[in-house]
Amino acid sequence: MRMLWLMLASALTVIAGGVAYALQVLGLFLASTIVFDAIHWLLHRFSGSGRLWLERLGELHEVHHRFLGRDLRIHDAYQTANIFHHVIPEYATHVAFSLALLQVLPTRIVFGTLVLQTFVVGFILFRRGKDPNHVGVERVPAYRPMFACVPPYHWLHHRYPDAHFSSYVKLFDHLMGTGVSLAGRRVGLSTVSTAFATTLGKLLERAGVAEVRPLEPDPSDGRMRDLDILVLTHEGSAEASRGVVERFGALVAERRFPAEVWALVREREFEPYARGYYTDPRLIYRHVTGSKTEAAAKRAFFLIRRGFNYVPTSWRGALDFPRFFWRVAVRDVLPSD
């Protein structure tokens, strides 16, 4: 029996060591992708810098956006240029960052990361640049809220090149405020009578939206039909709020690119609907919690710009997230008494 326990303990030690090693390799791999995200952002900034040599650097990356254009169509004429101007430089950035850490990290971790990076670029080269993030798309569904960057999230970068720079995890967008594109978009505010709505409207205008349209608490379909973002901030019932979101969802269901709903609905009864909208392919849904003050609007806008889908405007709202996410998810699955 003692021998059996020793064998079991030895096996668990080996498994734990393997898991720890895999997590270390994955951590270094993701760190290298975040470094590239920063370079990616800089290349976009270079394109409009007005300095010739910087614009030429930015132009190298523009080939990638010609390969998968803003229409989300693959343009094969740029396939080879995309490999040499984007795929290989991205791989070189990952490798250079990993090798630079040989001075502080064990060789086996860096070597394992290099193997993973080479495997990934090998897959991309095998697909000639047409990996899951870079394929022609007829319709972009709303991405599901998570820290990882799923393909629908990256597709939005090709539609809105001023946002969604993160490639594997959203840390860069969270830090830099590039988690949502607002320039040129049409926004409807369900009410403008509160300090929250008034302040949010001003912040949206400063961010370059095309229009901030005041809406009644129960707006008509005609007032919502051409909106890109619907913001609910009124005091209506949960059912009334759900009705507005459902009508808007039906109006935008056939669009190529998902519309957004930002909902500050304080009624707890709205939470089961909110959890459903989290995974609704029609809408990018952002659940705002807290008061309707000017300060709350500024905090909400700060987090929304960073791409958060659960948007607390107070510490209490932040601490409420596990309850919101868990209890509502369970309520959606388990039958009521």
Question: pLDDT digits over 287-310, tens only?
Answer: 999 888 999 999 999 999 999 999
Residue-wise pLDDT for 16-25, tens only, equals 878 899 999 9
Percent of the chain scoring above 70 in pLDDT: 96
Q: Out of 132-136, 137-141, 329-333, which region has the weakest mean confidence (pLDDT)?
A: 329-333
Confidence tier at 243 by pLDDT (50, 70, 90): very high
Domain map of the chain by residue range? Answer: 2-143, 186-333
Q: How far apart are CA 183 and CA 80, in angstroms?
A: 32
Q: What is the pLDDT of residue 57?
A: 84
User: Is the torsion defined by CA of 280, 281, 283, 288 positive or negative?
Assistant: positive
pTM of the predicted structure, to 2 decimals:
0.90
- 279 versus 43: which is more confidently predicted? 43
**147 Cβ contact list (under 8 Å, min separation 6):** 169, 170, 171
Chain mean position to CA 119: 25
Burial class (CB in 10 A: 0-12, 13-18, 19+), 2: exposed
Residue 133 clears pLDDT 60, i.e. is over it: yes
Q: What is the pLDDT of residue 326?
A: 74
Q: Out of 162-176, 186-200, 201-215, which region has the weakest mean confidence (pLDDT)?
A: 186-200
- 323 versus 224: which is more confidently predicted? 224
Long-range contacts of 88-94 (CB under 8 A, 24+ apart): 88/121, 89/60, 90/36, 90/121, 91/117, 91/118, 91/120, 91/121, 93/32, 93/35, 93/36, 93/39, 94/29, 94/32, 94/33, 94/35, 94/36
Q: What is the pLDDT of residue 134?
A: 96
Q: How far apart are CA 319 and CA 312, in angstroms?
A: 9
Q: What is the pLDDT of residue 337?
A: 37
Residue-wise pLDDT for 142-188, tens only, equals 998 999 999 999 999 999 999 999 999 999 999 999 999 999 999 99
Residue-wise pLDDT for 51-68, tens only, equals 888 888 888 899 999 999
Residue-wise pLDDT for 89-115, tens only, equals 999 999 999 999 999 999 999 999 999
**117 Cβ contact list (under 8 Å, min separation 6):** 29, 32, 91, 94, 95, 98
Residue 331 clears pLDDT 50, i.e. is over it: no
Q: What is the pLDDT of residue 159?
A: 96
Q: Hey, what CATH topology would domain 186-333 get?
A: Rossmann fold (3.40.50)
Residue 332 clears pLDDT 70, i.e. is over it: no
